Amino acid sequence: MSKDFILPVPPLPLTTAEQSKLQGRLNGFKNGYEEGYFRGRLAILDGRPEEPLPVRNIHVMYVASGKGYPYSPLDEAVLSSLQSLTAAVTVTDVHQNLLELAGGNKPDLVLVLDGMDLPLEQIDRIRGMGIRTAIWLTDDPYYTDFTLGLVNHYDYVFTLERNCIEYYRQLGCKEVHYLPFAAYRPHYRPTLSRSPVTREVSFIGSAYWNRVHFFREIMPQLMEFNTVINGIWWDRLPEAPLYGNRIEIGKWMSPQETATAYSGSKIVINLHRSHKDDIANNNTLAISAASPNPRTFEIAASGTLQLSDIRDDLASFYKPGEEIVTFGSQQEMIDKIRYYLSHEEERQAIALKGLERTLREHTYPKRVNQLLTTIFG
């Protein structure tokens, strides 16, 4: 009995369209795996417990800025850290009668955030009670026309701008200390699952004029990428309507919205505001800015590659080329965007190292602990 043999039929060659479809599917699997692996590494870092800090047996009266958003997230970060590091915290704001509260509670310290709207005679009388006072200034050097008149009324002055220290000391302030802001982890952390936001490049911030001029010259190149800009005043950019919803005008984003956008972006640009601005600044002495802005720490805490303009003291906080990437010109920024979008492993490695450094050194509990150590030893 004979057996029929069926020769195997060779597969037909794929059409160009089928080849493209198959390659797209393979690339999708590869990219999905790499993104999942990256998010997993972010989750490991994000899940590490923070270093325990000492809890002091002191009572602090915290005077919030009273300005509402966008200062209220700063108040939340400082207050939460104080509550975790001290025995008792009394909470008030600059619009309340501080004398009555301080006289009744007898705190060991009255700590004021911002303090621009606080009647100074109240602070003077609290100091007269023998209660230590401190102010943490939020906007140096941009409002030094006002802060130069405040600082002598406090026992301790904390500024987030290194270049302001000497100016305050020249006024006779003996206790002036450099204390930048930080990342508040309940607000700024990586998105660990699939992000609802997918961008190549993000910039989030107000359209100060130096930013408008910087971006305007390179906007066509910048928008070749999947770039989105968010913030108030971007109607100052004449070409903004050309880009539709890729330039959002007139909205303050919440910290959580901002963190989601950061974490869903491959690259986040951090372009600092200028210390010279005839409209937005009150800095008649033209004190220059050397220190990183709060967004520096918030971007890094969100687990993304940060591309920042150079500030003199930036390297004290992050190693350029390892934990953060810097640029000195518009073209250098565009070139580095192009480079890191095509070098995924390098981009992710820097983002991970930036997050790790932030969690180790640049959180609000660590900053508040530094403040308390300065005052109480």
> What is the structure's pLDDT at 31?
60
Q: 160 and 245: one domain?
A: no
> What is the structure's pLDDT at 80?
98
Higher local confidence (pLDDT), 249 or 319: 319
Res. 146: pLDDT tops 90: yes
pLDDT digits (tens, 9 = 90+) for 245-299: 999 988 889 999 999 999 999 999 999 999 999 888 999 999 999 999 999 999 9
Q: Residue 261 corresponds to which tokens in the numbers above?
A: 């956008």
pLDDT digits (tens, 9 = 90+) for 337-353: 999 999 999 999 999 99
Confidence band, pLDDT 50/70/90 cuts, at residue 23? low
Confidence band, pLDDT 50/70/90 cuts, at residue 172? very high
> What is the structure's pLDDT at 252?
87
| In-domain check, residue 257 | yes
> What is the structure's pLDDT at 308?
98
Q: 71 and 116: one domain?
A: yes
Res. 75: pLDDT tops 90: yes
Measured N-to-C along each axis, helices 255-263 and 294-301 cross at an angle, to the nearest 10 degrees, of: 60
| In-domain check, residue 193 | no
CATH number, domain containing residue 291 = 3.40.50.2000
Q: 216 and 104: one domain?
A: no
Q: 78 and 122: one domain?
A: yes
pTM of structure: 0.91
| In-domain check, residue 20 | no
Res. 24: pLDDT tops 60: no
Q: 170 and 306: one domain?
A: no
| In-domain check, residue 10 | no
Once rounded to an integer, what is the mean pLDDT over residues 365-370?
A: 98
Contact 223, 247 (CB under 8 A): no
Res. 114: pLDDT tops 70: yes
| In-domain check, residue 43 | no
Res. 335: pLDDT tops 80: yes
CATH number, domain containing residue 157 = 3.40.50.11930
| In-domain check, residue 221 | yes
| Residue type present at position 6 | I
Q: 310 and 211: one domain?
A: yes
| In-domain check, residue 33 | no
Q: 167 and 207: one domain?
A: no
Q: 240 and 99: one domain?
A: no
Q: 236 and 354: one domain?
A: yes
> What is the structure's pLDDT at 257?
96
pLDDT digits (tens, 9 = 90+) for 196-236: 899 999 999 999 999 999 999 999 999 999 999 999 999 99
- 3-state secondary structure string, the chain? CCCCCCCCCCCCCCCHHHHHHHHHHHHHHHHHHHHHHHHHHHHHHHCCCCCCCCCEEEEEEEEECCCCCCCHHHHHHHHHHHHHHEEEEEEEECCCCHHHHHHHHCCCEEEEECCCCCCHHHHHHHHHCCCEEEEEECCCCCCHHHHCCCHHHCCEEEECCHHHHHHHHHCCCCCEEECCCCECCCCCCCCCCCCCCCEEEEEECCCCHHHHHHHHCCHHHHCCCCEEEEECCHHHCCCHHHHHHHEEECCCCCHHHHHHHHHCEEEEEECCCCCCCCCCCCCCCCCCCCCCCHHHHHHHHCCCEEEEECCCCHHHCCCECCCEEEECCHHHHHHHHHHHHCCHHHHHHHHHHHHHHHHHHCEHHHHHHHHHHHHHC
| In-domain check, residue 242 | yes
Higher local confidence (pLDDT), 9 or 332: 332
> What is the structure's pLDDT at 15?
78
Q: 219 and 352: one domain?
A: yes
Res. 25: pLDDT tops 80: no
> What is the structure's pLDDT at 3?
56
pLDDT digits (tens, 9 = 90+) for 27-54: 545 566 688 899 999 999 999 998 999 9
Q: Structural domain tally of the chain?
A: 2
> What is the structure's pLDDT at 321?
97
Confidence band, pLDDT 50/70/90 cuts, at residue 19? low
Average pLDDT value for the chain: 93
Task: Provide the domain limits for residue 159.
Answer: 56-181+364-376
Q: 212 and 305: one domain?
A: yes
Q: 215 and 93: one domain?
A: no
In the chain, % of residues over pLDDT 70: 93
